[in-house]
Structure 1
Amino acid sequence: MRFALLTSLTLPVVAAAQTPPQPPQASSQAAGYVAAAGRSDLHEIRSSQIAMKKAKSPQVRRHAQMLVTHHRDTTAATLAAARKAGMSPRPPALDAGAARSISELDGAAPADLDRVYLGQQSPAHQAALSLHQAYGRNGDQAPLRASAEAAIPIVQAHLSQAEKLRTNAR
């Protein structure tokens, strides 16, 4: 019984931490990068909107509000850079893994929401950081490389703050 209870308490964080890898072309091809960056930002916006409404901790709610603002800005910058590169980007869309993560967060018990949300933040931001760094180094479109490089310090700050919040919540 103790094992079952422990597993049920840790499963949401473990499931959320399994961020699918980015497609290989996202590190160098504009279309793949724009889609992956948009998907990442949309996940952060939607998950943070849930946290803004349901989180118990005021620090978590402030973090979530910051993420919504910043990720809307990085989405706008990526789409503007894509248009500057001659592309007609589609609006961002979630993939199945991100949609499951959002559903998991939305269905989390009130007492677990802060923990589940923070558990999702580190792997999501680490994946976003890797994406932006790779495209910034290897990308095929200069305006998008510049946008990716501008996103790196933002995502690094989010990752650092999420890890700090998660450590303090323990």
Structure 2
Amino acid sequence: MKIKFSGFALGLALTSVATPALAQTPPPPPPPEAKTSAAAYVMAAGASDQFEIQSSQIALQKSPHASTRRFAQTLIADHQKTTAATIKAAKKAGMNPPPPMLDPGAQPSIAELQNASAGDFDRLYFGQQGPAHQAALDLHQSYAASGDQAPLRMSAKAAVPIVQKHLTNANKMMNMPAGKMSGM
């Protein structure tokens, strides 16, 4: 007996038996006004740092790989420093910044990490870190070039190489075979 499938039916049949792809939900990018307006920049930079800190705290608990946990520890320490520098610069600019808060739009990303299995965790974590750090890099570079407050422009400029290093390392980790991660 010969079975014929149309292209659509074959595709449907294959997707129904294939392993489902796990989403990699990056947090939302900062609003455009955060690239030039001090108040919006402080909120966006703080939200970005909070995402990095909270997602990395989850990585410390869930990742089976020592290299991922070391990366997460670095992110926590560095983003605590960039948060403190942003708050200090905002105060120097005459602002009274609120404590940094996770953007509500980033909550699905955090939930995705919390619910990930150990086997899927690193792929999801690094799948979020790349876009999150790219958005943060764009934010800091843009504010450093066009921001409306000099102390915050200096703070943004100082954050750029830190975020660039994180982005580079996240991309390397994302492309590393899992077998090599544990030995790093």
TM-score (norm 2): 0.86
1:37-76, aligned counterparts within 5 Å?
37-76=45-84
Amino acid at match of 1:8: P
Cα distance in 2 between the residues matched to 1:5 and 1:148: 48
Per-residue deviation, residues 49-97 of structure 1 (Å, max 9, x unmatched):
0001110111101000000000000000000000000000001111222
CA distance in 2, matches of 1:146, 1:135: 9
Indicate whether 1:8 and 2:20 are aligned: yes
Match of 2:164 in 1: 156
Contact kept in structure 1, 2:123 and 2:174, CA below 8 Å: yes
1:90 aligned counterpart, secondary structure: coil
Residues matched between the structures, number: 166
The answer to whether the aligner puts 1:120 opposite 2:132 as a matched pair is no
- 1:105 aligns to what SS in structure 2? helix
CA drift of 1:110 comes to 1.5
Q: Which amino acid aligns with 2:20?
A: S
What is the letter of the counterpart of residue 76 of structure 2? V
Greater C-alpha radius of gyration: 2
Say what the alpha-carbon RMSD is for the aligned residues. Answer: 1.5
Q: CA deviation at 1:100?
A: 1.1
Maintained 8 Å contact 1:115/1:169: no
8 Å CA contact 1:128–1:155 kept in 2: the answer is: yes
Name the SS of the counterpart of 1:168 in structure 2: coil
- Residues 29 and 132 in structure 2, CA contact (< 8 A), matched pair in contact too: no
Segments ≥4 residues shifted beyond 3 Å: 4-7
Question: One-letter code of the match for 2:23?
Answer: P
Pair 1:28-2:39 in alignment: no
Q: Which amino acid aligns with 2:37?
A: Q
Tell me the SS of whatever aligns to 2:20: helix
